[in-house]
Structure formats: C-alpha cells, structure tokens
Chain A
Amino acid sequence: LTALTGRYWQTCAGHTGNIKVCDSSQLVGCIRTVKIPTWFEEHLTEDNQKYMRHSMAEEYRRQTAEKLCPLKDEPWPRHEWTEGSRRVGLVAIKLGMAPIWTKSGERHAVTMLQVQDCHVIRCTSKEEYDGRSAALAVGGKNVSPFYRSEKAMELFRNAGVPPKQKVTIFKVSDNAIIKPGTPLYAAHFRPGQYVDVTAKSIGKGFQGVMKRWGFKGQPASHGQTKTHRRPGASGPGGDPAKVFKGKKMPGKMGNVFVTAYGLKIWRVNTKYNVLYVHGSVPGHTNCVLKVRDTVLPTRRSTLLNPPFPTYFTEEEGDLDEDLYSDDLFVHTEPSVTLS
C-alpha cells in the first residue's frame, strides 16, 4: 500500500563501484526509504474517504470545463505555419487493433489510439530549455491525486489541470508554443498524415540470447552436450584478449522506450477522439503513448497546412464526426467492384 523504494546494498569482497562504504557491518541488509509516509485514507473515516473522492471528481470536472474554451480566456498570440516549424504532439492510449480495407479491396491492420484528457502542462522557452528549441510538457490520461507526490501535484496545480498519468516533453519551434492548460484533441492530426509513436515496449524479463538478439543457438542433436541455446563464442581471440563493450548477451528485455516511425493515419474520429494508425505500435493494450508528427524527410511533405499550433474546437468546430483518408473504404459505401 505505501509506496516504498527498496534498495539492496551488498557488500562483497572485490566490489568497490560507486558505493561509499562507511561502516560495512551496518550496511549489510536492506535499507528501505519510504516515499509517501501515509496514504490518504489511512486516518480518515469511511464517510470522509467517500467525500474526498467525490470532491476530487468534482474538482476534475470543474477544471476540465474551465479549460474547454482556450481561445476565450487570454490565449497566447497565434502564428501561421511555416515550412520548418514543428508543432506539439499528443498523449494517447492504445485501445487495440482492427482491420481496414482500401477502395481497391486490400486489407490492412490498424491500431486504434484514443486521446483521453490531453492537456498542455508547462511551457519552457528556448533559453530555459536547452538554447535550441522551446519545449512543451504535455500530459495524458487523468489519474487519482492521492498517490502522487507534492512536487508533481504542484506542476498540475499551476496549470489548473487534473493530475495526469504520463507527462512528456515535445520539442517545438518558437511559433508553436501553446498556453498551459489548453486541451489537445485527436483532430490535431488529419488522415493521410504520418506520425511517430513512442511507448514502452512489453517487458519480457530476463531473456536468453536467442530471444533477445536472435542468435541461432546450436543443433538439438548430433552430440551437443548441454548446449542448445547458448551464445557460443564471445569475440575474437588473443589479440584484443577481451570482450568488447556492448557485446550482445542475455539480459532484461523489453520495458524500454521504442519508437515506430512513419505510421500513416487512416481515420480520425473527432467525437470520441480516436486515431486509426497503420500497423502495430509498441506497448501493451491500454498503455500510454506519445504521438508526434514524423521526423522522416520523405513523409513530411504530406503535412501541408496542418492545424497550427493545434486544433481548437471553437474555431473549426464543424468537422465531421469521422474523417477518412482518400483511399480508405468507408463501411457505408456499397461493395467494391474491381475492374
């Protein structure tokens, strides 16, 4: 229940490393640091717990309602899209995969990503960030405030936004900065455009060299003694007389950030904020992802006149519920006749 961080300190004979061993006898064992000393419901009665939850939900609704019209409450000056400008991305949730068909009858698989409660949290100007480009912190999916530290809550309080599960940073050109608290919607991307999706891949745990790096292993029979999935040789012989750094060996696989580049957007649903993105995307179902415009030079030309700096409902409120790519077969049309 309490959020604990456990760090195991081991003293062993030849191990120096970065650990400052003051008194070796006292450090044997486990030192646990408690991040949050008490959880919110520990000393509350049941009625109060219910009330806390209820009041938090109300607070969320009020905050989202306040931010619904970003263009009405003192927005920052908006600039036009130019050739080299980069705009913000979104934080989305992977729903699952489905088939789609083109007008010529070919079938492709798409992943459905839903943009849930995406708000801009903070804006850092070029000078503050790294001297090259401005950065916008964007948060996705609302979560409970009771399990977040005070430092994180301060960030969300400054933006006037409910706490988010994932906060990512998008490097953005100076003409595309947005005021913190602005909601971002799926219509920010249009069908026919290409995107890059980044997420943490599914963790596979400690894996051997055949699964992790695709080594061929050894034959199953013909005299192999206890050697079927081992790496075999680890490098050249006496000349370097060492194993090079970065040698592919067994280890923890997965649970790292992986980006899938150049994924086409086939369809956008503006009512439920769902993006239909080509192919597969790293991460498990219901995981939080970072979606941004492609970095690939050959696909950037499709992004002509996008909603810049982002899509505002008050301005372009009359979009259809479903926006389709040109070559996508819409289910309401009659069957395809090939010729």
Chain B
Amino acid sequence: MAACTRGLKNLLTSIKFCRTLQFQDERFLCTSALRFANNEPPKFVPPSKPVIINKTQTTASTRRFLSPEFIPPRGRTDPFKYFMERRDMVRRRKALNIPEFYVGSILAVTMADANASGKTNRFVGICIQRGGRGLGATFVLRNILNGQGVEICYELYSPRIQTIEVLKLEKRLDSNLMYLRDALPEYSTVDPEMKPVPFSPTGEVPVNKLKVKMCPKPWSKHWERPQFAIQGIRFDLCMTPKQMEFVQKKYAKPWEEYDMLKEYDTSKLEEQIFAEVQQEMNK
C-alpha cells in the first residue's frame, strides 16, 4: 500500500516536471525562434482584453415602467405646472424607494401612526386601484382581517409612509379590482405574514388570468355592464348567457368608439416624461 502511494507520488512529480520542462522548452523555443528571425528584442504583444458579458441583465430586457401618476390628465392646465410637480415627485422618490407595482399585486406598507404601538403600522393587502395624478397619487390596498374586509387608501408621496414593499408582483385582467368587494372572501384574503415572492426585474410581468366567483346578487355596482368592461369575473356562474347578452346590448354605447373628443393618445408624452424622469433619477 505504502509502496503504491510512493510510486504514485513519484509518478505525479515526474509528470509535473515533464510538464514544466515542456513549457519551458516551448517558451525557450518561441523566443529563440523570434530572436533568430529578427535579430532584435521581441516586441511586447499585450494579451487581448477579456470581454465581460453580463448574462444576468442586459439593458434591452429591463422593463420600461413609468408609474401612471406621471402621465398628466387631459385638460387646459399649463404643462409647466406638471413639470414642477414632477420635480417634487422625483425628489421624494430619491428619498423613499417606491417600487414598481400594478393593480393586483400584493404590497406591504408601513406608515407612521401616532396611535399605534411602536408608532408604526404595517398593512398587507392586494392593490385594487391606483388613482390620482401628480403628487396626490393614491393606491387602495384590500385585505380581510378576522372576517372583516378592510380597505386602506394610501397616498404614494405622503411623508408618513416609511416603506412600500412588493410581496408579489403580478397583473390581473382588469386595471380596477373594485369588484372584489362583491366576490367571495377567499379572493381578497392575503396572509399578513406572507413571505415576499422573488420576481425578476426583466421580462414580462406575469398576468394572473384568474376569474373570480361572486357572491349572489345584488352587487354594489352592476359589474356585468359594458361600461366597466370587466374580464376577471365568472359571469357564467352568476347569470345566464341570455341575461348577459341583454345587459351588454342595453347598456352598450357603440358611438363612444368613434368619439374623437374622447381620444387621448399619451404615447409621445409618456416617452418624453420617461426620459426626463430617468435622467433626474440617475443624477
């Protein structure tokens, strides 16, 4: 046994020796060849620079997201007023990290509260609505605690908000989930001790194509009517197709599609504002 190991060791050392000899010979051969060729000292050829490819994140794939409150509403106000508001919004965003989120994502917000123990108050809920423009932008979080439905409307730029974390980033089929008030409670319950679900900053935001089951009618609003244009409710369980067709036909406004005064194309404005905001944030 000992003999075998000793033999191996000798073999290894001899191999190493041979390898080094080989390399030395090569280097020697290389330089000597040049020397014999040019009769000058060999020029120093620097090694080629290593190219670092960041495979984790490329600029083309990071999501371009502009928070909806930056887009000004259509009206006769001077765009200068929105410019002044945007400066303040960017200043606040530099002090507090307001993450990207959509209606349907699950958020946890800690707010300063004089009457709470520890002077802060943490609330976890699903975002059902994002309203307002400019500094007064708000979002409503809904949760069911001890069988009681609770909705809290927070102002994004209020100084009382200390942190906003996104526990689960996802989109839903609608941009307004107010119908969850009339849906079965299981769809609005969010575990307050939920762990954050990891999500990537690149690629598409996952769309949850969940269709929600509703409580029996009457509902707080006539969600089946075409003015709400809701995709996320299981209407086939609540009403017959004939009823649905009747309601869609009666309350339809087919002329709105051709109403030119209702058109508001924000694409160019969005690009300008996005570029401006990115520049300010990176300063």
Q: Which of A220-272 contact B (CB under 8 A)?
A: 269, 272
The 10 closest A-B pairs by CB, nearest first: A331-B91, A95-B81, A331-B92, A336-B159, A338-B114, A96-B81, A105-B160, A338-B112, A329-B159, A335-B162
Determine if A339 is an interface residue (Cβ-Cβ < 8 Å): yes
The listed residue (B76, B78, B158) touching A105 by CB distance below 8 A is B158
Determine if B52 is an interface residue (Cβ-Cβ < 8 Å): no
The listed residue (A105, A269, A335) touching B84 by CB distance below 8 A is A269
A335-B112 in contact given A98-B85, A98-B134, A101-B159 (Cβ < 8 Å): yes
- Give a binary string over A122-150; 1 marks a CB under 8 Å from any B CB, 0 the rest: 00000000000000000000000000000
A-B contact pairs, 17 of them (CB 8 A): A95-B81, A95-B84, A96-B78, A98-B136, A101-B158, A272-B84, A274-B84, A285-B76, A286-B78, A331-B92, A332-B91, A332-B95, A335-B112, A336-B160, A337-B162, A338-B113, A338-B119
Determine if B161 is an interface residue (Cβ-Cβ < 8 Å): yes
The listed residue (A101, A329, A335) touching B96 by CB distance below 8 A is A335
- Give a binary string over A98-128; 1 marks a CB under 8 Å from any B CB, 0 the rest: 1101000101000010100000000000000
Chain A's nearest CB lies how many Å from the CB of B96?
6
Q: Which of B87-120 contact A (CB under 8 A)?
A: 88-89, 91-92, 94-96, 112-114, 119-120
Decide if A335 touches B95 in the complex (CB within 8 Å): yes
Place the interface of chain B in its size category: 20 to 34
A339 to B134, CA, bound (A): 29
Determine if B223 is an interface residue (Cβ-Cβ < 8 Å): no
Determine if B157 is an interface residue (Cβ-Cβ < 8 Å): yes
The listed residue (A96, A99, A272, A337) touching B119 by CB distance below 8 A is A337
Decide if A95 touches B134 in the complex (CB within 8 Å): no
**Which secondary structure characterizes the binding site on chain A?**
loop
A159 to B159, CA, bound (A): 47
A335-B160 in contact given A98-B134, A99-B135, A107-B155 (Cβ < 8 Å): yes
Chain B's nearest CB lies how many Å from the CB of A105?
5
Which residues does chain A contribute within 8 Å of B81, judged by CB atoms? 95-96, 98, 112
Decide if B76 touches A112 in the complex (CB within 8 Å): no
Please indicate which of the listed interface residues A105, A269, A331, A337 has the most CB atoms of chain B within 10 Å of its own CB. Answer: A331
A105-B112 in contact given A96-B81, A331-B88, A337-B119 (Cβ < 8 Å): yes
Q: Interface on B for A, CB 8 Å cutoff? A: 75-78, 80-81, 84-85, 88-89, 91-92, 94-96, 112-114, 119-120, 134-136, 155, 157-162
Decide if A286 touches B112 in the complex (CB within 8 Å): no
The listed residue (B76, B77, B135, B161) touching A335 by CB distance below 8 A is B161
Which residues does chain A contribute within 8 Å of B162, judged by CB atoms? 335, 337
- Give a binary string over A301-339; 1 marks a CB under 8 Å from any B CB, 0 the rest: 000000000000000000000000000010111111111
Q: Interface on A for B, CB 8 Å cutoff? A: 95-96, 98-99, 101, 105, 107, 112, 114, 269, 272, 274, 285-286, 329, 331-339
Which residues does chain A contribute within 8 Å of B78, judged by CB atoms? 95-96, 285-286
A289 to B112, CA, bound (A): 39
Please indicate which of the listed interface residues A95, A114, A339 has the most CB atoms of chain B within 10 Å of its own CB. Answer: A95
Decide if A285 touches B95 in the complex (CB within 8 Å): no
Q: A96-B77, A99-B157, A338-B112 are in contact. List 12 more A-B contacts (CB 8 A).
A: A96-B81, A99-B135, A99-B155, A101-B159, A105-B158, A112-B84, A285-B76, A286-B77, A331-B88, A331-B91, A332-B94, A337-B112
Chain B's nearest CB lies how many Å from the CB of A125?
38
Which residues does chain B contribute within 8 Å of A107, judged by CB atoms? 155, 158
Chain A's nearest CB lies how many Å from the CB of B202?
29
A99 to B77, CA, bound (A): 16
Chain B's nearest CB lies how many Å from the CB of A270?
13
Chain B's nearest CB lies how many Å from the CB of A104?
9
Closest Cβ neighbor of A332 among chain B residues: B91
Which residues does chain A contribute within 8 Å of B88, judged by CB atoms? 98, 331
Which residues does chain B contribute within 8 Å of A272, judged by CB atoms? 80, 84
Decide if B158 touches A286 in the complex (CB within 8 Å): no
Which residues does chain A contribute within 8 Å of B96, judged by CB atoms? 334-335
A195 to B116, CA, bound (A): 38
The listed residue (A98, A269, A286, A332) touching B76 by CB distance below 8 A is A286
Which residues does chain A contribute within 8 Å of B120, judged by CB atoms? 337
Closest Cβ neighbor of B91 among chain A residues: A331
Decide if B136 touches A334 in the complex (CB within 8 Å): no
The listed residue (A98, A332, A336, A337) touching B135 by CB distance below 8 A is A98
Chain B's nearest CB lies how many Å from the CB of A102?
9
Closest Cβ neighbor of B83 among chain A residues: A272
Which residues does chain A contribute within 8 Å of B114, judged by CB atoms? 338-339
A331 to B87, CA, bound (A): 10
Closest Cβ neighbor of A284 among chain B residues: B76
Closest Cβ neighbor of B92 among chain A residues: A331
Decide if A95 touches B77 in the complex (CB within 8 Å): yes
Decide if B77 touches A105 in the complex (CB within 8 Å): no
Which residues does chain B contribute within 8 Å of A331, judged by CB atoms? 88-89, 91-92, 95, 157
The listed residue (B95, B113, B136, B160) touching A99 by CB distance below 8 A is B136
A272 to B120, CA, bound (A): 38
The listed residue (A98, A285, A333, A336) touching B112 by CB distance below 8 A is A336
A99 to B75, CA, bound (A): 19
Which residues does chain B contribute within 8 Å of A339, judged by CB atoms? 114, 119
